[in-house]
Structure 1
């Protein structure tokens, strides 16, 4: 029998928008989220655990331990078990998937690795949007004690907080970048994207393009007389005004695979 897709949550549009705003889709951060998977296995005593967010098309795994039986960073949403957990802020715990009227038809149940037990703990924002799940799996039927369920709920809540804080930091950085673009548009309209990137790199103590640095020097923002490029008084004033200390800029780089300076420059158009 064909595996049936779950009904869409009533807040699906807002939910999807928040998932994309989170900035974690397609960003590999196993080191950051792997701990939640390991703790989930310990709390539940299950051999398999995974966590990820679901948008309109797919489930992207933030971290996973499938026991070496599955090797994928994402799966189509319509093939997931977790699509059935998006409509409630309560855990979805199925003692035996083989007996569930809908989930028993999922390929993960009917075919190897033949999952049996499945527990899904939603990643719920403060305003009730389910971004994704933290899940545990076993190959035999099992029950969870109230203490285990409570522990998993707390773990999922902590992970949601981490995602939310990361999203808020990205939003703050985006605002700073927009203000910086406004400065260059108004004060130095001929500044190239490469020069803006070089300025950000100097702020973060990262090597920068030589020709771009010369442009910054000509505009009085960078001093090239020393062994390494340094900000002038005007450059430091601009750095402070836009909150671009080294730690902030490095977090910008770590929060995304790369800083798209072309997008930043587009703000100036």
Structure 2
């Protein structure tokens, strides 16, 4: 993390961590998630809130690390830090990428390497730090879910277990989003190719109108007329809808809502979002 006062690499003796052995594959997966540079804190903030409740720590944050930075997808720094991302070589979390196990440091001031980090030596003077890796099913560490305190702490075994479950659930959410996006992209490319072959003069806006019909959204009247001419849609003085031919195209291109439920759901290993609240009982 960065303090409000800029800190250069020359102003600290903090040493960058060695790159993980699988760094190329790890970084490629981070980029594929589509999370970097996308501000969706409302979606991820519950994980930060739950981390604070589970551990009692005043600070919690989560983010992914690519080859040169850490991007925060949700954070609560208690108002002492303001940053959406930070150079990787200045982060504590770079040291958590080399293992799939939690990295818990009761007192950063006593750690041989981390004690030199600017967040420890300068404001806000972090002391306790716990990092729980976001690990994919094939063992790639995308980033971390972390908690921080300004005094030394020890985590109980049950707290560590709950934090690991929370990190697993967050990883699952990120991967499901990635798979859903990949599936949608694949279907859109297939649909565009189909219409290019069968209706080469179809414009992108008319393809958009077809998709709107598939999901029950309003359709531009001019575009609807063209879809009616091709026998794909019907008006009939009522609400516009797909014809039998249109529904056949919809099914062939995998555009029914049910087809977007990826088989990853059946491979679930983390807790349900409803179960997160049970962790603090």
TM-score category (smaller protein): 0.7 to 0.9
1:112 aligns with 2:123: yes
1:141 aligns with 2:152: yes
* Matches for 1:225-240 after TM superposition, within 5 Å: 225-226=236-237, 228-240=239-251
Q: Tell me by how many angstroms 1:197 deviates.
A: 1.8
Q: Quote the Cα distance in structure 2 between the aligned partners of 1:168 and 1:101.
A: 40
SS of 1:50 mapped into structure 2: strand
The equivalent residue for 1:255 is none
SS of 2:174 mapped into structure 1: helix
Q: Quote the Cα distance in structure 2 between the aligned partners of 1:146 and 1:215.
A: 64
* Matches for 1:213-224 after TM superposition, within 5 Å: 213-224=224-235
- Pick from 62, 74, 79 the counterpart of residue 63 of structure 1: 74
Q: Give unmatched runs, 5+ long, in structure 1.
A: 250-269
Q: Tell me by how many angstroms 1:8 deviates.
A: 1.2
Q: Tell me by how many angstroms 1:248 deviates.
A: 7.3
SS of 1:143 mapped into structure 2: coil
- Pick from 160, 163, 187 the counterpart of residue 152 of structure 1: 163
Q: Tell me by how many angstroms 1:209 deviates.
A: 4.0
The equivalent residue for 1:48 is 59
Deviates more, 1:10-19 or 1:195-204: 195-204
Deviates more, 1:24-33 or 1:183-192: 24-33
The equivalent residue for 1:163 is 174
Q: Quote the Cα distance in structure 2 between the aligned partners of 1:211 and 1:247.
A: 30
TM-score scaled by length of structure 2 = 0.80
The equivalent residue for 2:96 is 85
The equivalent residue for 2:50 is 39
Provide closer, same or farther for how the CA distance between residues 147 and 202 of structure 1 changes in structure 2, counting only shifts above 3 A. same
Q: Quote the Cα distance in structure 1 between the aligned partners of 2:238 and 2:153.
A: 64
1:127 aligns with 2:138: yes
The equivalent residue for 1:253 is none
SS of 1:165 mapped into structure 2: helix
Q: Quote the Cα distance in structure 1 between the aligned partners of 2:259 and 2:42.
A: 20
1:191 aligns with 2:202: yes
Provide closer, same or farther for how the CA distance between residues 148 and 177 of structure 1 changes in structure 2, counting only shifts above 3 A. same
Q: Quote the Cα distance in structure 2 between the aligned partners of 1:209 and 1:247.
A: 26
CA deviation digits over 1:162-187, x for unaligned, max 9? 22222222222222222212211221
CA deviation digits over 1:14-62, x for unaligned, max 9? 1111112222223333233222111111111101111111112222222
